[in-house]
Amino acid sequence: MSLQRLKQRVLKNPEVKAEYDKLEDEFNLIDQLLTMRSKAGLTQEQVAERMQTNKSNISRLERGNANPSWSTLLKYAHACGFELSLQAQKMH
């Protein structure tokens, strides 16, 4: 909640955003989604249009501990101009 809010504000600083965008690390799912949209420089509404849905659903996807389907993840990524694949690494 307040973490999201903080991130939101922080990312408004263009320099900070640039740095943030460089980090390609292992984030949780939501962070990965936010990062894609951030890099694309799109609003939720713009992503929604490209996904043929509504902005409220994008908000839900990005906030409410999401459990989206693979096709939804693909649509979102494509809307943000990304190709998506799974990365599996052996646990040990």
- Tell me the C-alpha distance between 9 and 83, whole Å: 27
End-to-end CA distance of the chain: 32
Task: Please report whether residue 20 would count as binding a copy of itself according to CB under 8 A.
Answer: no
* Residue placing its CB nearer to DNA in the complex, 86 or 92: 86
Return the one option of a copy of itself, DNA, none that residue 77 interacts with (CB less than 5 to 8 A, by type): a copy of itself
Least distance to DNA from the beta carbon of 85, Å?
A: 17
Tally of CB atoms within 10 A around 34: 19
CB 46 within 8 A of CB 37: no
Q: Could you tell me the smallest distance in angstroms from the CB atom of residue 39 to a copy of itself?
A: 8
Q: Report how far residue 61's alpha carbon sits from residue 81's, in angstroms, rounded to the nearest whole number.
A: 18
Per CB under 7 A, contacts with DNA among 15-74 are 43-45, 51-64, 66-69, 71-72
Answer for the pair 46, 31: CB distance below 8 angstroms, yes or no. no
By CB under 8 A, name the binding residues for a copy of itself.
26, 29, 32, 35-36, 39, 66-71, 73, 77-78, 81-91
